[in-house]
Structure 1
Amino acid sequence: MTTHGPDLDRLARILGTPETSWLLERIRKRAAEGRTLTGTLTLSTASPAQRRAVDTLLGRAPSRGTSLTVRLEELDAIVRTSGIHPGGLRAAVEELTGPIPDTKANAQAEAQAWRRAYEPLDQALSGNAFLEAWWTRPHTRGAFKRLAGGDPAAARTLAAHTATVLTALPADGVALPILAARATGDAHALDADRPIGRLVLAGHRVMGPLARTRPRDPDHRPEVRAAPRPVG
């Protein structure tokens, strides 16, 4: 049995027009959300040109009115049986507009990546009521994401280094550059204008009284002593 490919000229002429763009956009959105291409799509204020385009696509007599409804099962069957695209409606839409992303799966994967990014601080701060309350605030999480540049992989490293420093406090008598180098390998990581420095200093402000002893800064550098911009 011979399998024919899509008729790209007919596909573009019938379904790939400006008058059917609303239909393509709705189908893409539904498919991207993981919903089946069944049921109906309705355009409440269809122009005469949009109505003619859909009537032609469905092979039906000219219709009237402003509301325009398309049954997706009917459209899928027409696309398959007419030879426009043997793969059906979704394949035809992707042929015209590009691959349809799985937004639901992508959102789930991104959420999982951020949960992994939070883990070092989630674990390190567990049991400290002051720090847990600070760390779980939506404002703190949002600032953390911005400091990591919106990258979950970079955020996990940032969380791990921040957790190492916060769990090392109090560190009375230890110079900040030494503490920074021990925790991160970078003597300037705790500078107040660096992401780790901003997070640590913000967390330090909310720590319990017994842990508020600041590390020693032998150089009295203003940028280290300066209070960070609000993080949480």
Structure 2
Amino acid sequence: MHVTEPKKMQEDVSGAKKALTFFTQAGLTRLLEKVRAKYIAEGQIRGQVVLEEATPGERREIASFLGRPSYRDDVIRVRLVEMDQALRASGFACTLLDVITALYPDEPLETRPERRVAHVRHQSDFRQALFAIASAFAENTRAQHWL
């Protein structure tokens, strides 16, 4: 079982790279950047992104990928869950998260909820350290009051 897990991860990464190449060649980098920003804001694959002033090529490629009729309007709404399902069912066999991670592999994909948790943790650690320093001083001293 341990042998298949790394192989599965390699397939996901390979599929994500192939999917990224597909989206780039299809001129859909703008869509991926919006999806990445939405994921960072939400912390999970949910909601939708709006692609305004979509070119005829973008409209055609997105519709084709999602298996939908061509979009007539130049404002396209794409549900992230639908995009994730299409990727999983495609020959790429990867997730939307795999693809947006591959988009900028050298940049951390830290979500807003993760940043909030890290900030709260940092504040808590700081308060505990400050309390430890203050408790080292005798009670009612200037140093303890200052801290």
- Whether these two folds match at TM > 0.5 is yes
Correspondence 1:200-219 to 2 at 5 A: none
The residue identity in structure 1 corresponding to 2:48 is T
Aligned length: 134
1:176 aligned residue:
none
Whether 1:106 and 2:110 are equivalent positions in the alignment is no
Shift of 1:8: 5.4
Whether 1:32 and 2:40 are equivalent positions in the alignment is yes
Shift of 1:90: 1.2
SS in 1 for 2:28: helix
Shift of 1:9: 6.1
Cα distance in 2 between the residues matched to 1:39 and 1:108: 22
Residues 16 and 112 (structure 1 numbering): CA distance in 2 closer, same or farther, change over 3 Å? same
2:102 aligned residue:
95
SS in 1 for 2:50: strand
SS in 2 for 1:15: helix
Shift of 1:117: 1.6
Q: Is the 8 A contact 2:16 2:94 kept in 1?
A: no
Whether 1:168 and 2:141 are equivalent positions in the alignment is yes
Structure 1: unaligned runs, 5 residues or longer: 124-155, 170-182, 184-199, 204-232
TM-score (norm 1): 0.44
1:46 aligned residue:
54
SS in 2 for 1:65: coil
Shift of 1:64: 1.8
Whether 1:66 and 2:61 are equivalent positions in the alignment is no
Cα distance in 2 between the residues matched to 1:37 and 1:89: 8
Cα distance in 1 between the residues matched to 2:71 and 2:124: 53
Shift of 1:79: 0.8
Shift of 1:37: 1.9
Please state which structure has a larger fraction of its residues in helix. Answer: 2
Shift of 1:119: 4.4
Residues 36 and 9 (structure 1 numbering): CA distance in 2 closer, same or farther, change over 3 Å? closer
Q: Report percent identity of matched pairs.
A: 22
Structure 2: unaligned runs, 5 residues or longer: none
Shift of 1:89: 1.4
| 1:118-171 Cα shifts (integer Å, max 9, x gaps) | 3465x5xxxxxxxxxxxxxxxxxxxxxxxxxxxxxxxx9xxx48x959x533xx
CA RMSD of aligned residues (A): 3.8
The residue identity in structure 2 corresponding to 1:16 is T
Shift of 1:94: 1.3
1:115 aligned residue:
124
